[in-house]
Structure 1
Amino acid sequence: MSSAPLDHAVLQAAATWFARLHGAQNDPAATAQWQAWLNEDARHRLAWSYVENINQRFGSLDSQAEHARQVFDTVRRGQQSRRAVLGSLCVASAAGLLGWGGWQRGWVNSPRAWFATYRTGLGEVRPLTLADGSQLWLNGQTALDVHFDDDVRQLRLYRGEILIETGKDPRPLLVATRAGRMQPLGTRFSVKDQGLQTTLSVFDGAVQATCADSGRQTTLGAGQMMVFDAQYGGTVTDAQALRQDWSRGVLVAEDMPLGQVIDTLRDYRYGHLGMDPALGSLRAVGTYPLLDTDRALAMLERALPVRVVRILPWWVSIEPR
């Protein structure tokens, strides 16, 4: 698949064709029209492959095929609008499906993640109190090992994001990712593993970050954040509140670009969540529930000139109203 982002309109067309074909099985006319669309442009084939990959991760839609067929039969008879069709297709629940978000972002990068001390699923926020009194929050799709001995307290983050409020203990606390090691000095901070990079945000106290390969060290104070990898420490910038707001299950948007809001919601939602690029200039204000993304989308629909379009249970997009 091309490394360039797929065009939003083409993706929407591919998803619509997918819904139509599953609702009009054994319809030679529909199949011929789809084949003609597919052959028109290489981008159409890439988009179709993208949709098929998502469907494969979510399992077969055979159980919904009969319902979809009835919906499209009704449309052909002119008894239902297209908008109503899309609503009808969403009646089937997406509960229990494997999240596309988790697969797309490489949920398991190490076999150790499967056997980590603590693991969370998509859209799950889990609070913990460790043996040393430290308060710990695990964001969705997180895998973490915890090992304490007489000399050191160690946390190994394989995947995801944690927020830590350290307890009082004479032993040093070390947090490790693939990018490096972090040692807090009585503090509250978050660590997000992003594969080869790690985002460190400090909200209280100070944290020393050491790159895994080069040994370069950077100390961050309260209100600072940095993205670094195994070789290089990144530029130190202002910490973002959203890197700790998720522990309360909310996203606090203060004049936040709509695209950033949608990017955040994707991490808590099954399936594809797209946004029309024409909405890129919109900004959101408010507190949105991360653990109920349908409600968050409904709030955005009420507050902004946007509409939520559901083509399939696992395919949702934000479009201009």
Structure 2
Amino acid sequence: MSAIKPDHAVLQQAAHWYARLHADPGDLQTHREWQHWHGQCDQHRQAWHYVERVGQRFEPLHADGEGALQALRGARRPTSRRQVLRGLATISGVALLGWLGWRHGGLPDLLAAWRADYHCAVGEVSELRLADGTRLWLNSGSALDVDYRDDLRLLKLIQGEVLIETASDPRPLLVETVEGRLRPLGTRFSVLQREGRTELSVYQGAVEARNQAGDARAVARAGEQLHLGRQGISAVLPVNPARQSWSKGVLLADNIPLSAFVEELSRYRHGHLVVAPEVADLRVVGSFPLHDGEQALAMLEGVLPIRINRPLPWWISLEPR
């Protein structure tokens, strides 16, 4: 099979076929038409496989309704872990684990997130104050472990993003991710765990970064950011102060491409968001609510020449109007 990635139009066709087949599984004429489309080329088959794979993750969650979403929203604090597990037990285990594996990168990551000291559900932001007075804000779908010892304060970011405002304490504070360790020097900063890299943004003070191998070191100061990988550290770049607005439940867009805005917005909602290439470079400016994804999409549709296309409940596409 060809390795060419299906384009947006072909993926949209596949999503519409998926919707038609699931709306009436017994319609033989629709099935024959779909088979004809499916057999036309490799791109059609690749697009179908992609949409089917997404559907296997998201559709069971929609089918189980609010019970599943409420169970997921409960996974924010260690005190709720038992209630969460009881809630999840009422949902189809295989379907839910498949969906969570898609969202969190696999079963090992999922289990690590469940066992973490602090959780935050998708679409929510939690504010915490630790024993030493350090303030934390956990972003959507994040998980964090806290290990305070007599000689060390260690925070381990398992997934997602955390904004940290450090408190004065004689013990050093370290933040650990898959890619390395960060040592703040009396500061306010955020750490975002993406696939294959850690993003550090510093708003006050300074933070020293070291990669996992220990052979690369850099310091980011107020107004700077860098990316940390297992093999090295990127150059220091300016950071947008509005980047931390998520801690107040707001997504600030300062003349950014629609594709970048939607990529960020997708972290705060269940489902799959895609952007047509014809509108991907439209510029977005404004303040959007993170806790209400539908309102954010409606606001976009009201100010940009786009329309929201929903072939499936969990597949939303932003198209030219």
Distance 1:113 1:157 in 2: 10
- Paired letter, 2:214: S
SS at match of 2:207: strand
- In the alignment, which residue of structure 1 is the partner of 2:269? 269
Shift, 1:62, TM fit: 11
- In the alignment, which residue of structure 2 is the partner of 1:103? 102
Any conservation in 2 of the 1:160–1:193 contact (CA below 8 Å)? Answer: yes
Distance 1:101 1:258 in 2: 26
Distance 1:132 1:30 in 2: 63
Any conservation in 1 of the 2:57–2:100 contact (CA below 8 Å)? Answer: no
Distance 2:255 2:286 in 1: 8
SS at match of 1:31: helix
Any conservation in 1 of the 2:268–2:293 contact (CA below 8 Å)? Answer: yes
- In the alignment, which residue of structure 2 is the partner of 1:125? 125
What per-residue deviation string (whole Å, max 9, x for no partner) do you get for residues 170-211 of structure 1?
111000011111110110000111233111110000000111
Distance 1:243 1:155 in 2: 21
Any conservation in 2 of the 1:255–1:283 contact (CA below 8 Å)? Answer: yes
- In the alignment, which residue of structure 2 is the partner of 1:317? 317
Do residues 189 (structure 1) and 189 (structure 2) align? yes
C-alpha root-mean-square deviation of aligned residues, in Å?
2.5
Distance 1:318 1:139 in 2: 25
Deviates more, 1:44-53 or 1:176-185: 44-53
Q: Which has the higher contact order (CA 8 A, sep 6+)?
A: 1
Shift, 1:292, TM fit: 0.8
Shift, 1:100, TM fit: 5.8
- Paired letter, 2:120: T
Distance 1:241 1:94 in 2: 38
Distance 2:202 2:3 in 1: 33
- In the alignment, which residue of structure 2 is the partner of 1:253? 253
The count of residues paired between Structure 1 and Structure 2 equals 294
Equivalent residue runs for 1:100-249 within 5 Å = 103-104=102-103, 106=105, 109-110=108-109, 111-249=111-249
- In the alignment, which residue of structure 1 is the partner of 2:302? 302
- Paired letter, 1:28: L
Distance 2:48 2:197 in 1: 31
- In the alignment, which residue of structure 1 is the partner of 2:85? none
Change (3 A) 1:3 1:183: farther
- In the alignment, which residue of structure 1 is the partner of 2:29? 29
Any conservation in 1 of the 2:59–2:314 contact (CA below 8 Å)? Answer: no
Larger Rg computed on CA atoms: 1
Distance 1:60 1:129 in 2: 36
SS at match of 1:255: strand
- Paired letter, 2:277: P
- Paired letter, 1:194: R
Change (3 A) 1:4 1:248: farther
- In the alignment, which residue of structure 1 is the partner of 2:91? none
Shift, 1:63, TM fit: 6.2
Deviates more, 1:1-10 or 1:248-257: 1-10
Any conservation in 2 of the 1:258–1:284 contact (CA below 8 Å)? Answer: yes
Shift, 1:241, TM fit: 3.2
Distance 1:62 1:134 in 2: 38
- Paired letter, 1:253: A
- Paired letter, 2:256: M
Any conservation in 2 of the 1:214–1:231 contact (CA below 8 Å)? Answer: no
- In the alignment, which residue of structure 1 is the partner of 2:288? 288
TM-score by length of structure 1 reads: 0.85
SS at match of 1:53: helix
Bigger share in helix:
2
Distance 1:210 1:47 in 2: 40
TM-score by length of structure 2 reads: 0.85
SS at match of 2:39: helix
Shift, 1:61, TM fit: 9.2
- Paired letter, 1:290: L
Shift, 1:25, TM fit: 2.4
